Amino acid sequence: MKKQMRLDKYLAQMSIGTRSQVKQMVRKGQVCVNGTVVKKPEYKVDPDQDQVVADGVKTQYVHEEYIMLNKPSGVVSATKDPREKTVLDLIDGQKRKDLFPAGRLDKDTEGLLLLTSDGELAHRLLSPKKHVDKTYYARIQGRVTNEDVKVFLKGLDIGDEKPALPAVLQVLIEGEISEILITIQEGRFHQVKRMFKAVDKKVVYLKRISMGSLVLDETLMPGQYRNLTEEEIQRLKEEQNE
C-alpha cells in the first residue's frame, strides 16, 4: 500500500513555506501535481511517485535528512534562539523544516554535531541505555598524568547524585597545557569540563571528534557541513539496532 500524504504537509515539510503559506499557494493555483494544477491543500500525493511543482520549482521529497556539521565556537546547539546564533542558522538550503541537532555541544565547544530529522535515530544515539561512545580532543590547563587516567577509568564524582560513568582518558601531550583524548558514554551538562574540574584542572579547548561510528570529516572547517553518506547512515542505524 502506497503511503500518501496531504499536499500542504508535503510542501511544508520540504520547507516551501509554513503550513498556512503553502495552503495559500495551493489555493492560488501555484502548485501542480503531475502537470495538473491542484487547488486543494488536502489533496493526497505519493511523495515517492508524484511530481510536485511549487511556484514553478520542482520539488523532490526527502524522507529524512542527515547533516554532519563541524560546529564552531560561539554558536548554540538549538533550532531557535532569540539572542544567539544557532547551528541551524549555519545551514543553507536544508531540505526539511524539522531538522534539529541530535544532542548538544556547549556554546564554546567545537566539533562533530549531527543535524537530522530522524527522531528515532537521534533518540537511540542519545539514550543512556545505549552507551554510545563520544570522543573529544581537549587542551587542559594543568598536567594530566597517568593517575588521572586511572581516576577517570574508575568513574568520577562531578557533583551529581551519581558519579560519572568510567571514561577512557588518553594523554597525548603532558605539560602545563596538556593535550588529551577522552571517551565518555554520557551527555551530562558540561560533563567533560566538570570531570577535569574534579581533578583540579581546567578545559581550555574542547572539540568532539566522534559519536558512535560517526567520525568528524577532517576536511570540514568550523562552520562547514555536508550530508552524511549512505554508508555512514547505514552504519549508525545498524549499530543502534544491535
Hey, which residues are catalytic here?
106
Long-range contact list for 46-55, CB < 8 A, 24+ apart?
A: 46/2, 46/3, 46/4, 47/3, 47/4, 47/5, 47/10, 48/2, 48/3, 49/2, 52/7, 52/10, 52/11, 54/11, 54/16, 54/22, 54/25, 54/30, 55/16, 55/25, 55/30, 55/31
Kindly give, in sequence order, each residue whose CB lies less than 8 Å from that of residue 61, ignoring residues fewer than 6 positions away: 10, 13, 14, 47, 48, 52
Other Cβ atoms within 10 Å of 150 Cβ, number: 10
Pairing mode, if any, of strands 52-54 and 110-116? Answer: unpaired
